[in-house]
Amino acid sequence: MDSKDFRKIRTFLGKTQEQLARWLCVSPKTIQSYEQGWRTVPAMIERQVLLFSAMLSVKSVRSFQDTNGHPCWETKNCPDKWKANCIVW
């Protein structure tokens, strides 16, 4: 995966560099370096972003809803502090 592909996937996911960094457990500088081409994207990271994009493509977000269609953060009444670090939110 080259830097342009990586950036396209991040854009498709609708995430900032910082948000994607949290998802991948890396620093925002690491994401920036992938997108600038300063570092090659490791196979593990490539698999993760492709998995995220595949999940979004098939609308698997439905799995985070209860039977009434409410998102999990409403059902579980998650505090705002938790939402800030939640990959589903």
pLDDT of 12: 84
Say yes or no: domain 1-58 is CATH 2.40.160.100: no
Using the predicted structure, report yes or no on whether residue 73 has a pLDDT greater than 70.
no
Q: Output the CA torsion sign for 86, 26, 48, 50.
A: positive
Using the predicted structure, report yes or no on whether residue 47 has a pLDDT greater than 70.
yes
User: For residue 16, what pLDDT band results from cuts at 50, 70 and 90?
Assistant: very high
Q: What are phi and psi of 65, to 5 degrees?
A: -120, 150
Token output for 9: 């996937």
pLDDT of 63: 52
Which is more confident, 1 or 24?
24
Using the predicted structure, report yes or no on whether residue 60 has a pLDDT greater than 50.
no
Contact yes or no for 49/55 (Cβ under 8 A): no
Mean pLDDT, all residues of the chain:
80
pLDDT of 71: 67
Residue ranges per structural domain of the chain: 1-58, 59-89
